[in-house]
Amino acid sequence: MRAGELRRAAQLIAGSSYAVALTGAGISTPSGIPDFRSPRSGLWAHYDPMEVASLYAFQRQPQAFYGWLRPLAETAWRARPNPAHLALAELEESGMLRGVITQNIDDLHQKAGSKTVLELHGNFREATCLRCYSRVPAASFLASFLSNGQVPRCHCGAVLKPNVVLYGEMLPVGPFYRAQEMAGHCDLMIVVGSSLEVAPAADLPGVALAHGAKLAIFNRGPTTYDSRATVLVKGDVSRTLPMVARLSQQLKVAMDQPAG
């Protein structure tokens, strides 16, 4: 992490007129939520995603799916937003960020105060019955599920599926369409905590670049778009992003002051 990179990122944010953020699992790891692809600590280092997190696996063995999900759901339920989440909410509140496009399902952006949040991979707030298609708030069964692992069921008797996107499922059309629209209109895309490996969400920076936008990437490790970014800020995003957010607001105030 170098001061010049932080300042350059702040200048991009302060000078933009339509900035959007794209966030991945790396923004939530400082809140205690494990990511998926880190070589040793990521969830997929210990589990085969097609065996535990695919639609096929859920339909075949919902009990096994919920057994895998239970500790992750408890961690997410107890997690609190970290300074990186709060920084994005503050940038939106100040008018310097149009919204957040997220690959995360942990609800931490909303808990931090972000208003415009497009959840490309769904969320844990509701579940849907795959038989009668009733939608049920997760609050109605979450406590009992976390305490005893009981598989939640619909009033019709079928197993409820959390409204998260599993392998083998399409992304929700509405949020993804809006995300593509925002990517095509923005003049700056701020990527935070994403390796940009999972399509189609990972294609959004390409959409932004194709329409003339600049790219600022905050991440610990490399991404597939590093060579095309205007600025790369390496390190813990819960440290780097708040510093850049504060500096960008200071720069914006200075830019808006009348000359003389």
pLDDT in tens, 169-219: 889 999 999 999 999 999 999 999 999 988 889 999 999 999 999 999 999
The reported pLDDT for the residue numbered 146 is 82
Q: Helix or strand or coil: residue 137? A: strand
Q: Which residue in 121, 155, 185, 211 is the catalytic one?
A: 121
**pLDDT at 54 > cutoff 70:** yes
CATH no., domain 35-78+124-164:
3.30.1600.10
CATH superfamily for 1-33+81-121+171-260 is: TPP-binding domain (3.40.50.1220)
155 flagged as catalytic: no
For the entire predicted model, the pTM comes to 0.90
Smallest CA-to-CA distance from 30 within 191, 258, 243, 237 is with: 237
Q: What is the mean pLDDT of residues 135-146?
A: 85
Domains 1-33+81-121+171-260 and 35-78+124-164 share a fold: no
For the chain, the domains span 1-33+81-121+171-260, 35-78+124-164
**pLDDT at 41 > cutoff 50:** no
Would you place residue 38 in the very low, low, confident or very high pLDDT band (cuts 50, 70, 90)?
very low
Residues 6+ apart with CB under 8 A from 127: 135, 136, 138, 141, 152, 160, 161, 162, 163
